[in-house]
Structure 1
Amino acid sequence: MPNYEVLRIGHRPERDKRITTHVALTARAFGASKIYLSNPDSRVVSSVEEVVKKFGGNFSIVPISNPKGLVKSSTSQIIHLTMFGLPIDEKIKEIGNNDKDVLFIVGAEKVPAWVFEYSDYNISIGNQPHSEVAALAIAINSLTSGSYNKEFKGKLSVVPSATHREMKGSG
């Protein structure tokens, strides 16, 4: 299975702290190995690191000052998730027909034009305004045919239940 990474471009500290945190947590939960943050926010970093510490997994946050350089030098498939892209259903087989690693790009604000230019695929999850968290989850789920569910070895784990909340371990 390919390795998934995420590049978050344009974090706006007051407006985006929860969304950027949720992008990172979704990336982790769906099996990505890391997220690159072009404008790291210490609150986001500490929140995500705390989840990784408690719930396990090999997920890291990498601050990056030159996102364009990262994208240009990447050997992964570059998939920009944008409402302006081609529908994922039209491209998913083409994207998934190789074992290349994937670097997803999600923007917080209007992304620079070079993102469209350097991406192998500009993909939409519907051509309407929507959450980048939802777009990332749907994209990974589509690429993995729903088999993203991986086991994390952490101090805490959730015990699935239809009727109540239950955790195992100590955090």
Structure 2
Amino acid sequence: MHDAPEVAVLRYGHRPGRDDRMTTHVGLTARALGADRVIFPDNAGQSRETVEDITDRFGGPFDVELTGQLDATIREWDGSVVHLTMYGERVQDVTGEIRETHREDPLLIVVGGEKVPFEVYEAADWNVGVTNQPHSEVAGLAVFLDRLFDGRELEREWEAADRRVIPQERGKRVVDGDLDEP
């Protein structure tokens, strides 16, 4: 989608049964709004399957991984790390600097699932708050990605889509992806 280095989203923590839907939505939001891949904790296999299924049906490229090494993923990341948290610097104050850094460096965006340990705050290059108020981590991720990409992600063309949604004023229209319809 973009010519810059990779953008990956790391879902930090997953409580099976409690976080299933939210973890899945972190992955779907990452995919839809311009990230290249999502990394889930190894106990989020159902979320991985769902995001891979959506990618197969509605297009990619987008990768989904599982890891048992969340802290090591952050620590060993070869690039910059953004931790989305309500306690961070205001998104509107730091996104320009992050965007400039991302022109050269891969970007890892950490999205918490349960209480995030202080070590994550220390490891991050930026702790970023979207409103500094309690709300959904999915909403925070969406706002951050939209600001990072300046809205360009909304114009993305999807490759290898089995299905495409045709925008229209009312109703729902989904067609086979190989049709040449606008």
Q: Normalising to structure 2: TM-score of the pair? A: 0.89
Correspondent of 1:44 among 47, 53, 59: 47
Is 1:167 aligned to residue 170 of structure 2?
Answer: no
Question: Aligned partners of 2:47 and 2:90: how far apart in 1?
Answer: 30
Q: Report the Cα offset of residue 42 of structure 1.
A: 2.6
Give the root-mean-square deviation of aligned CA atoms.
Answer: 1.5
Question: Aligned partners of 1:75 and 1:43: how far apart in 2?
Answer: 28
The answer for unaligned runs of 5 or more in structure 1 is: none
Contact 1:9 1:39 in 2 (8 A): no
Correspondent of 2:158 among 127, 152, 159: 152
Q: Which residue of 2 is the match for residue 143 of structure 1?
A: 148
Q: Report the Cα offset of residue 41 of structure 1.
A: 2.2
Question: Aligned partners of 1:64 and 1:15: how far apart in 2?
Answer: 19
Correspondent of 1:58 among 20, 39, 61: 61
Contact 1:10 1:39 in 2 (8 A): no
* Residue identity matched to 1:156: R
Task: Report the 3-state secondary structure (helix = DSSP H, G, I; strand = E; otherwise coil) of the residue aligned with 2:65.
Answer: strand
Q: Which residue of 2 is the match for residue 21 of structure 1?
A: 24
Task: Kindly report which structure 2 residues correspond to 1:60-139, keeping only aligned pairs within 5 A, or say none.
Answer: 60-98=63-101, 99=103, 100-139=105-144
Identity of aligned residues (%): 36
* Residue identity matched to 1:56: G
Q: Report the Cα offset of residue 40 of structure 1.
A: 3.1
Question: Aligned partners of 2:111 and 2:135: how far apart in 1?
Answer: 12
Q: Report the Cα offset of residue 60 of structure 1.
A: 1.6
Q: Report the Cα offset of residue 111 of structure 1.
A: 0.5
Task: Report the 3-state secondary structure (helix = DSSP H, G, I; strand = E; otherwise coil) of the residue aligned with 1:22.
Answer: helix
Q: Report the Cα offset of residue 2 of structure 1.
A: 3.3
Question: Aligned partners of 1:38 and 1:50: how far apart in 2?
Answer: 18
Task: Report the 3-state secondary structure (helix = DSSP H, G, I; strand = E; otherwise coil) of the residue aligned with 1:148.
Answer: helix
Query: How many equivalent pairs are there?
Result: 171
Contact 1:5 1:35 in 2 (8 A): yes
Contact 1:80 1:105 in 2 (8 A): yes
Poorly superposed stretches of 4+, deviation over 6 Å? none
Question: Aligned partners of 2:45 and 2:148: how far apart in 1?
Answer: 31
Q: Report the Cα offset of residue 151 of structure 1.
A: 1.1
The answer for unaligned runs of 5 or more in structure 2 is: 178-182
Q: Report the Cα offset of residue 31 of structure 1.
A: 1.6
Question: Aligned partners of 2:172 and 2:97: how far apart in 1?
Answer: 40
Contact 1:28 1:59 in 2 (8 A): yes
